[in-house]
Structure 1
Amino acid sequence: MSDPAAARGDRTRPRKGPYRRGPYRRGRPRSHTRWTTIVVVGRAFLIAAGLVTAYYVLPLDRYSARGTSVLLLAGLLAVVLVFVWEVRTIVRSPHPRLKAVEALAATLVLFLVLFASAYYLLDRSAPGSFTEPLSRTDALYFTLTTFSTVGFGDIAARSETGRVMTMLQMAGGLVLVGFAARVLASAVQAGLQRRGPVEPETGADGGDAGDPTDSEAQPGPETETDPGT
């Protein structure tokens, strides 16, 4: 003879149905994620290309030595402001990892273009500041070799102002690679925590491909008969 209490427990026990409630959000299709990745990487490339193009196009020959120093300080302040804004955007972005790639590309290229412009202007306003006259490409080349700590030695700062700018770039590069990268990683973690867990993708049968257990699952349709009836 069946136990009525056990029968009632079987009827009220949650069934594993296809619909679930809880803190999970529906996972995005892989095609959508792939398209988002392409858009973000393309946007980062366009930002870098736009900054380099502006470096070659803008008329930089109108500044004096003092104007070069003011431009460099204003540019460094702009780099800091852009970086802070990018960190806030990463935390609020639905794709913090991809946004961090875009932020790093924009901040790094802006930093390099800024110092390349400063070296070029310094050589124009104070000839002899470097071992050879600098074109825009030479200034960008010297900036990259200094940032990557390669230092080929074919171009070197000769004047005191040029050496101060080079030391400032070295210190800024260390901060950018060390401290800024850590801040971006922390912003990515904060963005992922703000998003919350994402529901696993559905399998081929339409069910959940992840953990089948769910304490808040809705009971499915009753399929068992009551032994007591």
Structure 2
Amino acid sequence: MTTAYFQLPLDRLGPQRPFLSWTLLTVALAIVALLLLRQTNDVLTDRPGTRPLIVIPLLMCLSVLVFAGCYYVLAAQPGEFNGLGTRVDALYFTLVTLATIGYGDITATGQSARVVTILQILYTFVFLTAAATALGRRVRGVVVQRHGRPDTGGGEAPGRGGEE
């Protein structure tokens, strides 16, 4: 996926084709969101025959690459970003935004760039957080299945012990 990100002809999008650019972003994010929701539902309903431990991380990476591609395309429009000029910069900005670090070396200055950044933050809150929670649940289920009942850390039952 990362190789495809660096090979895609993103320079053909942007200011010269705004409708196509926004349509591709919307469609790509909608497809990834639907696939993430489906995987999350499969985990929550314990649907057999699914592979969320593989699919969810791949979809999460794909969503990062979609936003990075969008930022790269937006950066071609003067006044949208300060400090973003390459695909690596766009990927870096996406991950810094995702991690809520915000170093400030790359900033969204234009309205379109700020709208996409807000969209990424909301997308992360809703879709990536749900998917990460489902992934954690599945990992815990696999660990419990392989190693038996987990230590709940509860110790003795309440009301029993030296309090009597």
Query: For the residues of structure 1 that align with 2:9 and 2:58, how far apart are their CA atoms?
Result: 22
TM superposition shift of 1:136 = 0.6
Number of the residue aligned with 1:112: 64
Flag the 1:177–1:84 CA change in 2: closer, same or farther, 3 A: closer
Establish whether residue 56 from structure 1 lines up as the match of residue 56 from structure 2: no
The CA RMSD measured in Å over matched residues stands at 2.7
Query: Structure 1 stretches of 5 or more lacking a match?
Result: 1-50, 201-229
SS of residue matched to 2:10: coil
Matched residues, percent identical?
Answer: 34
Query: For the residues of structure 2 that align with 1:76 and 1:177, how far apart are their CA atoms?
Result: 12
TM superposition shift of 1:144 = 0.5
Aligned counterparts, 1:13-92, within 5 A: 51-63=1-13, 64-87=17-40, 91-92=47-48
Equivalent pair of 1:127/1:133 in contact (CA under 8 Å): no
SS of residue matched to 1:61: helix
SS of residue matched to 1:79: helix
TM superposition shift of 1:67 = 2.3
Query: For the residues of structure 2 that align with 1:68 and 1:161, how far apart are their CA atoms?
Result: 12
Point out the more displaced range, 113-122 or 175-184.
Answer: 175-184
TM superposition shift of 1:81 = 3.0
Provide Cα deviations, 1:127-169, integer angstroms capped at 9, x if missing partner.
Answer: 2210134211100010000000011100010000100000100
Equivalent pair of 2:81/2:107 in contact (CA under 8 Å): yes
Structure with the greater alpha carbon radius of gyration: 1
Number of the residue aligned with 1:47: none
Q: TM-score, normalised by structure 2?
A: 0.72
User: Match for 1:68: what amino acid?
Assistant: S
Flag the 1:119–1:180 CA change in 2: closer, same or farther, 3 A: same
Equivalent pair of 1:68/1:122 in contact (CA under 8 Å): no
Number of the residue aligned with 1:178: 129
SS of residue matched to 1:119: helix
Query: For the residues of structure 1 that align with 2:12 and 2:128, how far apart are their CA atoms?
Result: 32
Equivalent pair of 1:130/1:162 in contact (CA under 8 Å): yes
Number of the residue aligned with 2:160: none
Number of the residue aligned with 1:31: none
Provide Cα deviations, 1:180-219, integer angstroms capped at 9, x if missing partner.
Answer: 3344466x49x98xxxx99x9xxxxxxxxxxxxxxxxxxx
Number of the residue aligned with 2:101: 150
Flag the 1:55–1:67 CA change in 2: closer, same or farther, 3 A: same
Equivalent pair of 2:36/2:127 in contact (CA under 8 Å): no
Flag the 1:76–1:54 CA change in 2: closer, same or farther, 3 A: same
Moved over 6 A (4+): none
Equivalent pair of 2:60/2:128 in contact (CA under 8 Å): no
Aligned counterparts, 1:204-215, within 5 A: none
TM superposition shift of 1:88 = 6.7
Q: Which fold has the larger relative contact order, with Cα–Cα distance below 8 Å and residues 6 or more apart in sequence?
A: 1
Query: For the residues of structure 2 that align with 1:103 and 1:123, how far apart are their CA atoms?
Result: 30
